[in-house]
Structure 1
């Protein structure tokens, strides 16, 4: 705790100095132990080429220059054996990328290797005025906000959130190593591998931040990487901002978010699907469709639906109004003040290059097109004579996931011709089997969740074994998700003894 003592004056800890000193020391340690290694890769270099193969090639060349026939014969035999072994190990490495259909990153990496696919490099924009223009564009809502950030009246009984060292260490040990570092340039690997050594000091920093309701500026600074949404770019809104914040702060945010979500009251709108457990886009679409189709069961009725998409919705939030609403939800005042400080006074910089109708035909057609695009890679794998298990894994991880997106919502009202368009014809589970399995799983999760807005649609009959069927006048409503889900649950009941 020498860093804290150096940043403490008159029994008051300067959190900004404390945090900057710790992060600077971490970066110093990284520089002290990091070894820089330069590896030269040539365009014609084989991917299976290893250091052992290079050693055998040198031995062969030396034997050739020495003129000994026996030594040259032995060197060539060892070289041939070494190359076969290296090729086998490389093939096994590629095969291992197809071991898990859920790991789509490894699947596509293997596909790029097999097909020798190399994405075209993005042309860097050398316009030095672009970063400043984007920076003003992304902060345009801040300049329009004239509401001053004022803290609420603090209650004497207010309890400050205190994070445990065990939770912080668990969060550090779960850091995704592929996440890019923020402006502090501290990689996630350092935080995860040194979680045991960093837990105590980070616990003290985080709890000091919560007690003072202050977030150090170095932790909430942001580097924005603009990524073009389309090509060519015609306006600033065609850039998608990718915000890079310190990974240390992401861990802090995750811990605070878990506390906030666990503290929310049960009086929240049941149709709030985002950021809630056991809720998904499937639930939102199914609930909206059920309300509309139920109303359309009445004669001479119609439904008007308004779809609203807020552009830059999070950036338009006024922090002062947000903390008032959070206080009404029951969050303690000190945490509201911490959130207010977290959302205000955030320095950011932009880095550019080196310069800082009622049918589902349209939906099925789109899914079919995406699936056909992925089939190209499946055919390339088949031409490479890969075994069937690898082809099956690739299909499940890339094509099947596309074809079955929100299948519980749209499958029931598809025509037979549309059903046949999304069947691959391989010895795999049919789309119908996948729909029934997903439908049963989704319905079971809703039945087990009394807070789900659609929970009351699954009512048991007096026998207590079967669910009451949902009456439907039209085939369209009969084939929608909830009536079908009730039928699926009733059909899966165990046979009576």
Structure 2
């Protein structure tokens, strides 16, 4: 049934669309139009070169003006970043070599190695007659289809997201029937479980199969189905998550995880003759090594109904896939700052290129915030307070250089740190479920927060004591 529906959708796409092949080259620039190529004559080579150089310069200026106009009118940041990457050759995507014809098979066996190691048979749970089967409404399905990002890559079914979004009204009823039939039978259609894996090199050159990062493309129709079921699962499960679980939760970030761990360690180190030992554990391929049979038993114990557990088991098993190819013990933050500053300085050259391309300061500032400032201030609330004065000056020099290139003032590193401290602390105060919420306690007056006592400067300058001071300094003056 599902394969018939998807085949008919693809037939309709083939009937109403025209496929056109466009050849692009790595060094192709968008301003190199046919007019530029005709700007030189054959009569005099010297004159032709001069005219062509003038034509390229004029075309670059027109292209920069076009970028500026589009950004000013529509705030289309996606087109802006595409143009910036074209001008600067910034972050070219590494491509897997397609010369080795045995690479797809080798990667396919490598990515499926965990399936062969799992010998636990997948057996569905016994369903009771009173078990309620999840039923999706047509309104929810249509709402999900209308929110599809049309720029997302299509999966193995080759049905573009734009088709599903634009034809949401026509496809809602049939897809609702497909989804509800799948849920009632606790069976996932094989065509929706299929996956195309695109290997992207993590580094260059590649030395082993583990140097490829697998990018899995699944049917967009399946992504909509997953999103609908996920919303139901989240609303059905009890709130039993550990407060120190930061992944996949709102108002939780890497900053929170590091700050909480450091706070516990530094609080303990406030005591005399104390020390801290930390154990860092990284699970290799954690998601791929989950045993589905054990997972559904745990979900069932958490209160998820049996039919949905069986559906999840069928969803996680029997998934066809194909691969497509075309030591430092120092306790200061100097190593971290040096690494961040090096990355920021390397990206200043791209800012120079944009400046030479005659782009205006607003666009240069946008590029700086996205590629230089974002690197220099990564997790800044964790480490900036305990930085040495020399490290802070090093970072500020990079910011000053960027401001000089742009020709406009930029916020200082200190201002960014204080703003982010205030924002992060405010979000924690407003979230009573946050594991660090109890660190922000109001005094009896109800106007200021209780300061965190610290014996050492290291603890005093860590995030949470700093955040309390920042919040107290930002409180409005009494009337």
Structure 1 length as normaliser, TM-score? Answer: 0.82
- 1:266 and 1:221, CA in 2 relative to 1: closer, same or farther beyond 3 A? same
- 1:86 and 1:235, CA in 2 relative to 1: closer, same or farther beyond 3 A? closer
Equivalent in the alignment of 1:20: 3
CA distances 1:117-139 after superposition (whole Å, capped 9, x unpaired): 79598463333332222222111
Question: Are the equivalent residues in 1 in contact too, given 2:39–2:52 (CA < 8 A)?
Answer: no
SS at match of 2:433: coil
Match for 1:443 among 420, 425, 450? 425
- 1:127 and 1:462, CA in 2 relative to 1: closer, same or farther beyond 3 A? same
How far residue 289 of structure 1 moved from its aligned partner, in angstroms, is 0.7
SS at match of 1:262: helix
CA distances 1:253-312 after superposition (whole Å, capped 9, x unpaired): 122222222333222211111111111111111111111111111111111111111111
**Which deviates more from structure 2 when the two are superposed, residues 296-305 or residues 265-274?**
265-274
Equivalent in the alignment of 1:38: 21
Q: Distance in 2 between matches of 1:292 and 1:425?
A: 44
Match for 1:388 among 351, 361, 385? 361
Of the two, which has the highest radius of gyration? 1
User: What is the count of residue pairs matched by the alignment?
Assistant: 468
CA distances 1:60-85 after superposition (whole Å, capped 9, x unpaired): xxxxx999999999999999999999
How far residue 234 of structure 1 moved from its aligned partner, in angstroms, is 2.1
- 1:20 and 1:323, CA in 2 relative to 1: closer, same or farther beyond 3 A? same
Q: Distance in 2 between matches of 1:265 and 1:492?
A: 37
Question: Are the equivalent residues in 2 in contact too, given 1:101–1:107 (CA < 8 A)?
Answer: no
Question: Are the equivalent residues in 2 in contact too, given 1:378–1:394 (CA < 8 A)?
Answer: yes
Question: Are the equivalent residues in 2 in contact too, given 1:361–1:418 (CA < 8 A)?
Answer: no
Tell me how large the CA RMSD over aligned residues is. Answer: 6.0
- 1:76 and 1:433, CA in 2 relative to 1: closer, same or farther beyond 3 A? closer
Equivalent in the alignment of 2:394: none
Question: Are the equivalent residues in 1 in contact too, given 2:96–2:326 (CA < 8 A)?
Answer: no
Question: Are the equivalent residues in 2 in contact too, given 1:131–1:356 (CA < 8 A)?
Answer: no
Q: Distance in 2 between matches of 1:180 and 1:234?
A: 28
Q: Distance in 2 between matches of 1:192 and 1:428?
A: 41
How far residue 229 of structure 1 moved from its aligned partner, in angstroms, is 1.8
How far residue 145 of structure 1 moved from its aligned partner, in angstroms, is 1.1
1:78 partnered with 2:51: yes
**Which deviates more from structure 2 when the two are superposed, residues 295-304 or residues 356-365?**
356-365
Equivalent in the alignment of 1:135: 108
Question: Are the equivalent residues in 2 in contact too, given 1:221–1:347 (CA < 8 A)?
Answer: yes
Question: Are the equivalent residues in 2 in contact too, given 1:101–1:394 (CA < 8 A)?
Answer: no
- 1:71 and 1:367, CA in 2 relative to 1: closer, same or farther beyond 3 A? closer
- 1:91 and 1:153, CA in 2 relative to 1: closer, same or farther beyond 3 A? same
Equivalent in the alignment of 2:374: 401
Structure 2: segments with no counterpart, 5+ residues: 388-397
Question: Are the equivalent residues in 1 in contact too, given 2:403–2:409 (CA < 8 A)?
Answer: no
How far residue 178 of structure 1 moved from its aligned partner, in angstroms, is 2.3
Q: Distance in 2 between matches of 1:397 and 1:362?
A: 23
**Which deviates more from structure 2 when the two are superposed, residues 83-92 or residues 358-367?**
83-92
- 1:81 and 1:145, CA in 2 relative to 1: closer, same or farther beyond 3 A? closer
CA distances 1:375-406 after superposition (whole Å, capped 9, x unpaired): 11111122233222222222122211111111
Q: Distance in 2 between matches of 1:132 and 1:410?
A: 45
Question: Are the equivalent residues in 1 in contact too, given 2:133–2:183 (CA < 8 A)?
Answer: yes
Question: Are the equivalent residues in 2 in contact too, given 1:221–1:346 (CA < 8 A)?
Answer: yes
- 1:174 and 1:112, CA in 2 relative to 1: closer, same or farther beyond 3 A? same
- 1:102 and 1:488, CA in 2 relative to 1: closer, same or farther beyond 3 A? farther
SS at match of 1:349: strand
Structure 1: segments with no counterpart, 5+ residues: 1-17, 54-64
**Which deviates more from structure 2 when the two are superposed, residues 32-41 or residues 412-421?**
412-421
CA distances 1:443-462 after superposition (whole Å, capped 9, x unpaired): 11111111111111111111
